[in-house]
Amino acid sequence: NKKLMLKDYIKGSPKESDLHLTTESIELKVPQGSNAVLVKVLYLSIDPYQYIRSTKIEKPGYFSSYSPGSVMASYGVGRVLESGHSDFQKGDLVWGKTGWEEYSLLTEPETLFKIQHSDVPLSYYLGVLGMPGLTAYVGFYEFCAAKEGETVFISSAFGAVGQLVGQLAKLTGCYVVGSAGSQEKVDLLKNKLGFDEAFNYKEEKNLDDTLKRHFPGGIDICFDNVGGKMLDAVLLNMKLNGRIAHCGMISQYTLDEPEGIKNMMNIIYKRLRLEGFVVTDYYHLFPKFLDFMLPCIREGKIVYVEDISEALESCPAALVGLFNSSNLGKKVVIVARE
């Protein structure tokens, strides 16, 4: 069983050398009497939180850090090889929390979901039909209270979460602008995902001016994935009674000291609502979310862009890539093709 281990807590930008590959021989069996499920891992999801959990930084109310020397973990899609749990049978396709390894013995089967619909790509259960999809759905519908005709800004808009938020906002009839870190992503946001406008934040000298250019009348809703300077500029451009769904702060994760936000008083001046949320508090909405999202995908109302690489060995580079803008859509690694 090949697996990727965290060497030590990561400090600063992640490097491929922060992880190392080991091989161990294991018996492909569920221990007698246990309710564990043994899964052959087919796909792994690469997400920013794997970095957060690999640092020593305290995360009160969030998830604990991975211990140095332990196997990396994320959501994965797999095939059940053997099951000690009555809800799962040999041959079932499942998604849930797996290790970054070829075979995972899952001792918490309550975190596994059986895949009922396999007419869509299985990797979608790590993206549009999985945790990032639910994040976009919950963040947009529970926190943004969007109405037709409102203006919406999304940072990191071509990512796993952002690309969906933009499409949900378009389905609601909003005017939608996204930011991303390359011209290629900007073009795809406008030409493939239906955003009204998009810009490359790396090319902009003054983000306040940029937002004023795109939102001359101000922003009603911001779905923020990035924090830092972008959030500061957003605060200056929000309309009265605007809403900010605070999903992530990826520009801050690798810094020793988070940047200060200068324009916080705008929250008061403009009576803004800024709310953070963690998607795992909303897993009870999964059935409702699937009922909504599956038809949207089948009818082509929602499209989803994935960036797929192959082999367990490519996971470290994939994680590093999330922090230098190189993923072109939801990052997924194929571990095995059965």
DSSP conformation letters of 178-198: EEESSHHHHHHHHHTS--SEE
Structure tokens at 104: 């995972």
142: left (phi over 0), alpha (psi -120 to 50) or beta: alpha
DSSP assignment, residue 227? -
When the beta carbons of 150 and 307 are compared against ligand NDP, the nearer one is: 307
How far apart are CB 170 and ligand NDP at their closest, in Å? Answer: 18
Q: Which residues pair with 21 in a beta bridge?
A: 4
When the beta carbons of 103 and 323 are compared against ligand NDP, the nearer one is: 323
When the beta carbons of 112 and 245 are compared against ligand NDP, the nearer one is: 245
User: Do residues 154 and 177 touch, judged by C-beta distance below 8 A?
Assistant: yes
Name the site residues for ligand NDP (rule: CB under 6 A).
47-49, 132, 135, 156, 159-162, 180-182, 185, 225-226, 247-251, 277-279, 322-323, 325, 327, 330
How far apart are CB 225 and ligand NDP at their closest, in Å? Answer: 4
Structure tokens at 110: 């309550």
3-state secondary structure of 53: coil
Q: Which residue is nearest to ligand NDP (CB)?
A: 159
**What are φ and ψ of residue 55, in 5° steps?**
-100, 165
Helix intervals (H) in the chain: 48-52, 131-138, 162-172, 183-191, 207-214, 228-237, 265-269, 286-298, 315-322
Helix intervals (H) in 21-161: 48-52, 131-138
Q: Mention every residue, 6+ apart, whose C-beta is less than 8 A from residue 165.
A: 136, 139, 140, 152, 154, 157, 223
Determine the Cα–Cα distance for residues 280 and 16; give it in Å rounded to an integer. 28
How far apart are CB 21 and ligand NDP at their closest, in Å? Answer: 23
How far apart are CB 8 and ligand NDP at their closest, in Å? Answer: 22
- No. of helices (H) and no. of strands (E), the chain: 9, 15
Q: Buried b / exposed e across 257-294, counting CB within 10 Å, b at 16+? A: eeeeeebeebbeebebebeeeebeebeebbeebbeebb
When the beta carbons of 37 and 169 are compared against ligand NDP, the nearer one is: 169
Q: Which residues pair with 41 in a beta bridge?
A: 78
